[in-house]
Each structure stands twice: as C-alpha cells, then as structure tokens.
C-alpha cells in the first residue's frame, strides 16, 4: 500500500501490522449515536429457564343465573382453549485477532472490535423484535393459529369471531384513525364480554410521522376548513420506529401490560474470550438465545395502509 495513495478496503487489514502516521481517527458504526431500545416498550419482556415456553388459553365461567327460592345452583366449568409454544433460538457472532496483530496494535484497532460486536448484537435484537411487527399480517400467528392481524379470531365461549384488522386496510387518516379508536374500545374478552382496554400509542414507520403529528397534535381537524375540533387530539402517542419495513402500516396499541405480546430471554447476551492453541489467535464471541411472539391479539388494531 503506497503512502499517500488511495486507501481501499483491501488495505484495511494492513493497519494491524503497519502504523500510518497520518491516521488521526477511526470512524465506524459505533461512533454514531444509536437509536434507543424502543422495542422493549412493545413486548412483555420475561426470562425463561427452559428450552421452550407454553401458553394455554382458557375461557372462564358464564354469567350467573337468576335463582328462585330453594332452586339448585348450576355448575359451570372452565373451557380449554388453544396453546402457543415459544421455542428459543440461539444467535451468535465473533471475531479473531492474529498473534502479531495483537502484539503490535499501535493504533488501537483491536479495542474497536468489542464495541462493534456489541453494536451488532443490539442491532440484531432490534431487527428481530421488528420482524414480529413487520410480519403481523402474513407470518406471525397467535395461539388460535391465525395471523396476529386478522378478522377471524375466535371466542372461547359462545362461538363467533372478532377482528383486530381494519376493513380494507385504509391509509392513515382522520376518519380511519377515528374508526380504529372506536373499534379498539369495542373489543371483547375471551368469552365475548365487553373489554374496553386503554389505548396508548400509534406504531408507525418514519414516513408517517408528519401526518401523525397533524392528526394527534392539532386541536382542529386537518381535513376540513370549518375549524371543527378534532376528536383525535392527544388520544395517542406516536411511536416512530425506523426498523419497520412497511412505510404505510399503522397499529393502535394498548400499554404492553394489557397485551399478550412476549419476548423471552433464555440467555441474555454474554461474551467469551479464548485462544487458538495452534495459531495463538485471540477469539471473542457473543451469544444470546431468545424467542418472541404473541399469544393473543387483543389490545391492538392494525392496518397495513395498503388501501385494499
């Protein structure tokens, strides 16, 4: 590599054995500010000490009966529902440093590896968490075997279906968001009883942030010139998440403690170090094991925003 010539990617490894006098600072991914761990506000994060976790749904008792004097009480029983299994998966990545590189690392390149490995781990976790939300219409299923966003979820007692998916998947707008809030509050529990859960946030990608601001922060409707007061003002807190891959999707969500969406840590990220005996290369690896998903879709109202 000629001094003063073009610094190519192929030349980068040579920095381990050759100190460049003109090198002032290394700028890598870990030098940039990182997005907060937003994903944790969307999951009930729990710890698991088993290879897998199972959730069994069940329906409670029916309504009380009116009894006449000396009439016998009727006895009911709990109804077993579907089951959801969470199976942990193992993830890992590592790097190794040659013997001479470790001996002569004058520019501190080696110490840069550990922070970059940590950043890679955090980005992987965020991407995995986002993959649940990116797949709620076509890959992620609840205990009833249906996609998380579905119009055909079933009750455990009395039959019938319920929906947490917007009809025709409308784009985000004043009318569609009003409809979503009303539908959200009309949700029912496993037995078909009213279940008015509180709504809290509007999950969206970056592209919808300006519109969400107009809808939720303005005191007047943005879609009329009559200066009508807006029903939507302050109703939801926008959660803008850059890891979402669908720019049109919007989801109304209850606080996470009112949902059945889970992230299980089986092994939280842990880092090990060692040496290869034959080469004396130093090796570092980080592993973690986890699983995630949803047992039930209550506490949400979802639209892909596709308008179809």
Domains of the chain plus CATH, in order, are 38-56+81-303 (3.90.1690)
C-alpha distances out from residue 137 to 40, 160, 186, 282, 305, Å: 21, 21, 21, 45, 11
User: Looking at residue 197, what DSSP letter applies?
Assistant: P
**Average pLDDT, 10 consecutive residues per value, the chain (308 residues):** 43 46 63 79 97 95 93 94 97 89 66 83 95 98 98 91 96 97 96 94 97 93 81 96 96 98 96 86 91 98 92
Could you tell me if 95 and 205 are in contact, meaning their C-beta atoms sit under 8 angstroms apart? Answer: no
**Cβ atoms within 10 Å of 117's Cβ, excluding its own:** 18
Mean per-residue pLDDT of the chain: 88
Residue 109 phi, psi dihedral angles, 5° rounding: -65, -35
The pLDDT of residue 284 is 87
How far is residue 189's CA from residue 143's CA, in Å, rounded to a whole number? 15
Q: How much of the chain is in helix, strand and coil states, percent to nearest 5?
A: 25, 30, 45
Put the strands of the sheet holding 250-253 in their side by side order.
237-240, 201-204, 250-253, 300-303
Question: What was the pLDDT predicted at 305?
Answer: 97
Bridge partners (DSSP) of residue 203 are 239, 251
Eight-state DSSP code of residue 69: T
Radius of gyration of the chain (CA): 26
% of the chain beyond a pLDDT of 70 = 88
Assigned token pair, 95:
């790097």
């Amino acid at each position: 590599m000629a001094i003063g010539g073009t610094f190519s990617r192929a030349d980068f490894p040579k920095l381990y054995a050759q100190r460049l006098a003109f090198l002032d600072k290394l700028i890598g991914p870990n030098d940039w500010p990182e997005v907060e761990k937003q994903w944790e506000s969307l999951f009930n994060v729990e710890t698991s000490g088993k290879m897998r976790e199972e959730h069994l749904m069940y329906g409670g008792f029916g309504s009380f009966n009116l009894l006449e004097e000396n009439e016998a009480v009727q006895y009911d029983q709990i109804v077993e529902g579907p089951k959801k299994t969470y199976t942990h998966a193992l993830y890992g990545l590592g790097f190794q440093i040659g013997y001479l590189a470790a001996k002569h690392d004058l520019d501190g390149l080696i110490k840069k590896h550990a922070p970059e490995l940590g950043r890679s781990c955090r980005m992987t976790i965020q991407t995995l968490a986002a993959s649940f939300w990116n797949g709620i219409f076509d890959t992620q299923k609840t205990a009833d075997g249906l996609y998380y966003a579905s119009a055909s979820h079933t009750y455990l007692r009395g039959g019938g279906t319920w929906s947490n998916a917007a009809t025709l998947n409308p784009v985000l707008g004043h009318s569609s968001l009003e409809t979503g809030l009303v539908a959200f509050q009309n949700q029912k529990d496993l037995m078909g009883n009213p279940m008015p859960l509180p709504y809290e946030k509007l999950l969206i990608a970056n592209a919808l942030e300006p519109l969400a601001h107009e809808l939720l922060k303005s005191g007047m409707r943005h879609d009329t010139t009559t200066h009508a007061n807006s029903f939507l003002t302050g109703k939801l807190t926008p959660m803008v998440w850059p890891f979402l891959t669908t720019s049109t999707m919007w989801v109304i969500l209850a606080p996470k403690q009112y949902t059945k969406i889970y992230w299980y840590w089986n092994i939280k990220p842990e880092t090990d170090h060692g040496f290869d005996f034959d080469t004396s290369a130093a090796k570092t690896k980080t592993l973690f094991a986890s699983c995630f998903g949803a047992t039930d879709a209550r506490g949400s109202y979802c639209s892909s925003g596709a308008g179809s």
